[in-house]
Amino acid sequence: MNTKAVFLTILISITIFGVVVAQNNLSQMLYDQYPQFKENEIIEKRFSHEELMDVLEKIHKSDLIKIVNAGHSIEEREIKLIRIGTGQINVLAWSQMHGDESTATMALLDLIKFFASDNTEFSDVRNLITEKVSFYFIPMLNPDGTENFTRRNDMDIDINRDALRLQFPESQILKAVQDSLKPAFAFNLHDQSTRYTVGNSYKAATISFLAPAFNYKKDINDVRENAMKLIAYLKKELDHFIPGHIAKYSDDFEPRAFGDNFVKWGSSLILIESGGWKNNYEKQFLRKINFIALVSGLYSIASGSYNNESIEDYNAIPENKEKLFDLLLRNVTVFNNGKEYLIDIGINQNEEGTSDSRDFYFDGVIEDVGDLSTFYGYDEIDCKGMKLEQAKIYPETFKNIDDLKAIDIPKKILSKGYSFVKVDSINTEDKFTLLPVNIIENNSDIKMEFKLDEPANFILTENDELIFTCVNGFLYDVRSQKNYIKNGRIFK
């Protein structure tokens, strides 16, 4: 081998080695240094279209970062299209196609801040991406749904089922952008139920990926295969931070969905579904994981490193299973007509929006009872030896809610096994209270019985000793005096 050939071989080896080292370290560096890229103007998941527009308005526009108006929603809210980079590979992403799925929107704002940063440790990463890739994204495709934090648009249409007819402006905007860009890769960014698990395991599916099918036979062409390879790469990277919490979404073909049609139209599409992580109600940890996935994915596309991955690794990712409750009480003893039975109780603490949709409370409901041995809970308690008894109302009636605020509710009410208190008058239209007890307006009729699909309120005793008071699907631990109750409900 001549000197020139040796030199070229060494140069190629160094280049490849440099890419490998950079990618191996990139996700960890992003994780460690994430706080400097987080867009702190939005730190709660229920933000408005106006708040998003305010953040975008403050972004410094340049040759690197462009923001244009892509169109308007049914209610005439602006839908923005943002471009970062000037490379030959077009990549498109969109979030909040469903208005109540905002995790990735927050991550996209962080991504803008990352590319606008002058942090020199990431200069090579930013330069490679922006020179090779033109990354376009729509950070809120369904602003009307966002206003009410609901899935559908202003006409109650699921935009993700309008890829064929293209009847609605939001759908038409996405298709027009696709037609214009013909993206090589696309990211379809969603939130999924927090109650999915990774296969039949107890671990929550924190992130679920999918390379969607483009026909009922679920054939694999080069376009879909590239998406599978990129997902295999992303799975390896995210495993560093959420090991065992990555699943695969169902690949059943849906001919009306945008993701499936993007593959048919020639884009290697990666679906990212943000699911559950314990006590991460505002989704800020999942926001961080989305940010890492997006930057790492763009870097892999720019460097071409996804080509080194195997679709076998993609196929090995376990599928989503709906196996989780928010609270699972195992081995509870109940009595009926003098007979004793052993049951499990699955409780879900569902989010309910406030009147302005900008905040939320919890509505704890008895989701299932019986043998739940094949299910899991974010929180589980073995209640062997404990007996379920009906919820009780505190015997004293208060004048109003303000009077109730003046007492030590855990000590005076919860520790005595009362889930409800009565007040003479309730001067609020809210259905929930931040106080850790349910409130009943005096003389109102309320059912106290333990029943499927009804509010979860009861007590658990052991050998006639009070162990837990359950209020709205949350527990007060009488022995430790720990109060886990997020809020009570108001009944009129």
**What domains lie within the chain, and their CATH numbers?**
23-322 (3.40.630.10), 325-491 (2.30.40.10)
Q: How many CA atoms lie within 13 A of 1 on its CB side?
A: 7
The angle, 0 to 180 degrees and rounded to 10, between the axes of the packed helices 123-132 and 3-33 is: 110
pLDDT band for position 9 (50/70/90)?
Answer: very low
Q: What is the mean pLDDT of residues 466-480?
A: 98
Q: What is the mean pLDDT of the chain?
A: 94
Is the pLDDT score of 475 beyond 70?
Answer: yes
**According to the model, what pLDDT value does residue 62 have?**
87
Among 479, 442, 444, 440, smallest CA distance to 457 is for 440
Which tokens is 341 given?
């039975």
Give CA 174 to chain center in angstroms.
22
Query: What pairs with residue 190 in β-bridges?
Result: 273
**According to the model, what pLDDT value does residue 408 have?**
97
Q: What is the mean pLDDT of residues 266-281?
A: 98
Is the pLDDT score of 12 beyond 60?
Answer: no
Greatest Cα-to-Cα distance within the chain, rounded to the nearest angstrom: 97
Task: For 218, list phi and psi in degrees, rounded to 5.
Answer: 60, 40
**According to the model, what pLDDT value does residue 442 have?**
87
Q: What is the mean pLDDT of residues 309-336?
A: 98
Name the helix (H) or strand (E) containing 173: helix 169-181
Which residues have CB under 8 Å from 100's CB, separation 6+? 145, 146, 149, 150, 151, 191
Give CA 324 to chain center in angstroms.
15
Which tokens is 364 given?
């704890």
Is the pLDDT score of 361 beyond 90?
Answer: yes
Q: What is the mean pLDDT of residues 65-85?
A: 98
- 329-354 pLDDT, tens digit per residue, is 999 999 999 999 999 999 999 999 99
Query: What pairs with residue 69 in β-bridges?
Result: 80
Give the chain's length.
492
Buried b (16+ CB within 10 A) or exposed e, 249-258: beeebbeebb
Is the pLDDT score of 293 beyond 70?
Answer: yes
**According to the model, what pLDDT value does residue 6 have?**
37
- 154-165 pLDDT, tens digit per residue, is 999 999 999 999
pLDDT band for position 22 (50/70/90)?
Answer: low
Is the pLDDT score of 314 beyond 50?
Answer: yes
pLDDT band for position 236 (50/70/90)?
Answer: very high
Give CA 293 to chain center in angstroms.
14
Name the helix (H) or strand (E) containing 6: helix 3-33
**According to the model, what pLDDT value does residue 8 have?**
39
**According to the model, what pLDDT value does residue 409 have?**
98
- Lateral strand order in the sheet of 133-138: 65-72, 78-84, 133-138, 89-94, 185-191, 268-274, 207-210, 246-248
- For residues 428 and 123, the model is more confident at 123
29-33, 258-262, 424-428: least confident range: 424-428
**According to the model, what pLDDT value does residue 448 have?**
83
139-148, 200-209, 403-412, 424-433: least confident range: 424-433
Which tokens is 81 given?
């299209």
pLDDT band for position 445 (50/70/90)?
Answer: confident
**According to the model, what pLDDT value does residue 24 have?**
61
**According to the model, what pLDDT value does residue 190 have?**
98
Helix (H, G, I), strand (E, B) or coil at 315: helix
Among 40, 46, 44, smallest CA distance to 58 is for 40
Task: For 32, list phi and psi in degrees, rounded to 5.
Answer: -70, -35
Helix, strand, coil percent content, the chain, rounded in steps of 5: 30, 30, 40
* Alpha carbon distance 297, 306 (integer Å): 9
The angle, 0 to 180 degrees and rounded to 10, between the axes of the packed helices 123-132 and 103-116 is: 110
